[in-house]
């Protein structure tokens, strides 16, 4: 579907910590410590010997994201704009 990209900069993994704030059938939401935001990932990506519960702490390695190209990919821009319009239309129809 997409082009394979190669990173130009050396990986610089750092350990990040967070707290599980939501657990759903197929996904988990983690609030990152240090006011870094929230990460939502599929449950299958969590390594755990325990049942997942809200309030459990997690740790993981992550590097800084690297932008591949200067120009946005038109397909992604169109899809994002379409999703925004659909959300706005739903919001208007609910009021």
Q: Could you give the domains of the chain? A: 14-94 (2.40.50.140)
Average pLDDT over residues 69-91: 95
Q: Are strands 57-62 and 14-23 parallel, antiparallel or unpaired?
A: antiparallel
Residue whose tokens read 């910590």: 17
Which residues are bridge partners to 27 per DSSP?
Answer: 42
pLDDT of residue 7: 87
CA distance 16 to 89: 37
Average pLDDT over residues 58-79: 95
Q: How confident is the model at residue 4 (pLDDT cuts 50, 70, 90)?
A: confident
């Amino acid at each position: 579907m997409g082009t394979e990209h190669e990173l130009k900069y050396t990986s610089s993994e750092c350990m990040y910590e967070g707290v599980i704030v939501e657990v759903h059938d197929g996904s988990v939401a983690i609030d990152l410590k240090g006011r870094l935001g929230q990460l939502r990932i599929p449950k299958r990506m969590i390594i755990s010997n325990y049942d997942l519960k809200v309030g459990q702490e997690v740790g993981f390695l992550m590097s800084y994201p690297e932008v591949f190209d200067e120009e946005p990919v038109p397909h992604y821009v169109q899809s994002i704009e379409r999703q925004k319009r659909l959300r706005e239309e739903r919001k208007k129809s609910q009021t």
